[in-house]
Amino acid sequence: MPERGVYAISVAAEMVSMEIQNLRVYERRGLVAPARTAGGTRRYSAADIVRLHRIRDLLAEGLNLAGVARVLELEHEVARLRADNQRLRRAKRG
């Protein structure tokens, strides 16, 4: 399950070669939203790890956090529109 939070923040940071503090900043900025245990411990999912890799890559390309947020929003919108387009094409055929 790619959406299930299983990785502690230290493991997630190591997986994406980032500092723990950076992951906290990205969460505060709304770029990533890890699950929380009942005790409040962050748990990152496989999907969160993919997103963190994307954030890292965009930052390496020279974007600031506001630019990263905008790119992620646009990528999400494109994915949604593509899914809608496919659904409409299937409905038209059927």
Q: Which residues contact 68 (CB under 8 A, 6 or more apart)?
A: 31, 55, 58, 59
pTM of the model: 0.87
The domain locations on the chain are 9-93
- State the chain's mean pLDDT as an integer: 95
**CATH class assigned to 9-93:** mainly alpha
pLDDT digits (tens, 9 = 90+) for 15-49: 999 999 999 999 999 999 999 999 999 999 999 99
